[in-house]
């Protein structure tokens, strides 16, 4: 950082901004001062140093400090535990072997880690835990310079050996050590770089991007669960497209989500079609816009964003060049749903996320059979029933999937979907579409046909549900007659009891 001049007016603009950021950070720290200062005072009285560190300082400087605070100290873990025991309401020691203890007091969660000076075998990402003796040594091993700043408490003195404040002001993402050293120690930091680009709108330094390209294959040392967590945070950031582009441009996506770079299909002059990869990025952006417009205060919708990104991953496998110069992607939604399910399983996503994303990919093309409203009410009911709880997301995905620059065509698609939603609302007023069930339940089917629980009951139930979707609600006698008609067609013996 440049040395201050005699006059504040002569200081470089960047330095003045940094000083203002420091003051703002201190004011933000005052908001949580009671707990932080109490804790710092306890450590100081016992002769130990305590620093607010890493993401907590970064977020304070960005004006977004949360109720979770990260600290580092020269006290060893056993001593930290003693200092917390009669101060915190709750203490947990699950990370004590790595020098970390957690505690909770008056609405604030704190995590305290002893100074670290770890070494890595660079085969796995597991360090040989070595405790350090200085804040400078601890900050050197951190992932990025914006996370390598600290505030000593209770003095509230900033510690910034790697010029992290300047990087924060300039929104620049760089590493305290060389990127190669940092990423060799922990390859997950490459994914974290893309996540910070998405979450915090940072610009990675050229040397960081180059190291990511050189070392992309190192990400295979990381477990799928850790990759999944970073990928989810990236997609739920404020600028997920930028994070995804960094993954693809550096080659990391080839190991994490190889289906993405595979969508960059070659387009020749005789077989024109959309760039599927770029189209998918636009759909992702538009889905995020629709999500925010629907509820600006809602949490980011991982399922919708993942489905928007992956909705066309089946196109490369289904591309066909047609006579006359056309290109087709028949059944790409079916193939894409299977591919999405396989990839998300490999990344250890939950069954709910896997099911929801793959179903949205499967359903995203269904609307395009609607045309100018030719669907019957039966077809509308099936659309709603097949979507189930995903219907609000499907509405957003289908609308986001319109990326044509032809204004007339875009307006026609928008009007058609407006019409479909209006029809859904009209039918919903007449029927409870969210709870479409056969007009007879399983118990009544068994009683009327005189059968025991088994396959016949399920087959009859599904038939009556299909009839219900086609015709709408039926009177009880009409439903019974339909059940008997179906049973006779199936050769099921029964005696009509009604």
Residue pLDDT, tens place only, 85-128: 989 999 999 888 889 999 999 888 999 999 987 655 556 556 66
Same domain, 331 and 428: yes
Residue 261 within any structural domain of the chain: no
Full-model pTM: 0.79
With a cut of 50, list the residues of the chain below it in pLDDT: 1-11, 268-272
Opening angle at CA 217, ends 215 and 220, nearest 5: 125
Same domain, 292 and 413: yes
Residue 432: predicted pLDDT: 58
Question: What is the CATH classification number for the domain harbouring 40?
Answer: 3.30.460.10
Same domain, 242 and 373: no
User: What digits encode the pLDDT tens for the residues 291-320?
Assistant: 999 999 999 999 999 999 999 999 988 988
Residue 391: predicted pLDDT: 95
Residue 274: predicted pLDDT: 63
49: left (phi over 0), alpha (psi -120 to 50) or beta: beta
Residue 26: predicted pLDDT: 56
Domain of residue 405: give its range: 266-434
Residue 268: predicted pLDDT: 43
Same domain, 155 and 93: yes
Residue 410 within any structural domain of the chain: yes
String of b and e for 191-208 (b: at least 16 CB within 10 Å)?
bbbbbbbbbbebbbbeeb
Q: Beta-carbon neighbour count of residue 27 at 10 Å?
A: 11
Q: Is-contact 187 214, C-beta < 8 A?
A: no
Same domain, 116 and 162: yes
User: What digits encode the pLDDT tens for the residues 330-370?
Assistant: 899 999 999 999 999 999 999 999 999 999 999 999 998 88
Residue 3: predicted pLDDT: 43
CA contacts within 13 A on the Cβ side of 41: 7
Residue 8: predicted pLDDT: 44
Same domain, 19 and 95: yes
Residue 498 within any structural domain of the chain: no
Same domain, 239 and 387: no
User: Using CA atoms, how far apart are residues 409 and 231, in angstroms rounded to an integer?
Assistant: 34
């Amino acid at each position: 950082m440049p040395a201050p001049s005699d006059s504040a007016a002569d200081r470089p603009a960047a330095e003045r901004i940094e000083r203002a950021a420091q003051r703002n950070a201190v004011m933000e720290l005052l908001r949580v001062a009671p707990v932080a200062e109490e804790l710092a005072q306890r450590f100081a009285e016992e002769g130990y140093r305590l620093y607010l560190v890493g993401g907590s300082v970064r977020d304070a400087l960005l004006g977004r400090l949360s109720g979770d605070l990260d600290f580092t100290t020269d006290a060893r873990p056993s001593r930290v535990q003693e200092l917390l025991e009669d101060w915190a309401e709750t203490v947990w020691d699950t990370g004590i072997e790595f020098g970390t203890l957690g505690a909770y007091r008056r609405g604030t969660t704190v995590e305290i880690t002893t100074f670290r000076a770890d070494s890595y075998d660079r085969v796995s990402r597991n360090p040989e835990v070595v405790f350090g003796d200085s804040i400078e040594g601890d900050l050197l091993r951190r992932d990025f310079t914006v996370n390598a700043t600290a505030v000593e408490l209770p003095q509230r003195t900033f510690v910034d050996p790697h010029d992290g404040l300047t990087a924060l002001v300039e929104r620049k993402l760089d590493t305290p050590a060389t990127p190669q050293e940092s990423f060799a120690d922990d390859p997950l930091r490459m994914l974290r770089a893309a996540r910070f680009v998405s979450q915090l709108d940072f610009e990675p330094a050229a040397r960081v991007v180059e190291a990511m390209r050189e070392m992309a294959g190192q990400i295979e040392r990381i477990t799928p669960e850790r990759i999944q967590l970073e990928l989810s945070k990236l997609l739920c950031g404020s600028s997920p497209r930028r994070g995804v582009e960094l993954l693809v441009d550096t080659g990391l996506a080839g190991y994490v989500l190889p289906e993405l770079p595979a969508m960059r299909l070659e387009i020749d002059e005789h077989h024109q079609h959309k760039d599927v990869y770029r189209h998918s990025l636009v759909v992702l952006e538009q889905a995020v816009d629709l999500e925010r417009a629907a509820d600006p205060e809602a949490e980011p919708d991982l399922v919708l964003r993942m489905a928007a990104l992956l909705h066309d991953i089946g196109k490369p496998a289904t591309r066909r060049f047609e006579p006359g110069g056309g290109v087709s992607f028949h059944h790409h939604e079916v193939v894409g749903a299977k591919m999405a399910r396989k990839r998300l399983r490999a990344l250890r996503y939950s069954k709910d996320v896997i099911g929801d994303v793959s179903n949205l990919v499967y359903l995203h093309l269904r609307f395009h059979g609607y045309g100018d409203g030719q669907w019957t009410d039966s077809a509308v009911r099936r659309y709603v029933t097949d979507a189930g709880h995903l219907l609000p997301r499907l509405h957003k995905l289908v609308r986001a999937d319109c990326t044509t620059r032809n204004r007339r065509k875009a307006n026609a698609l928008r009007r058609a979907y407006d019409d479909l939603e209006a029809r859904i609302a009209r039918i919903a007023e007449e029927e409870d579409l969210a709870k479409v069930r056969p007009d007879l339940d399983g118990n009544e089917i068994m009683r009327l046909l005189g059968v025991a629980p088994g396959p016949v009951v399920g087959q009859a139930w599904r038939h009556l549900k299909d009839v219900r979707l086609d015709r709408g609600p039926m009177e009880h006698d009409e439903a019974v007659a339909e059940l008997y008609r179906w049973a006779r067609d199936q050769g099921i013996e029964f005696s009509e009891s009604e």
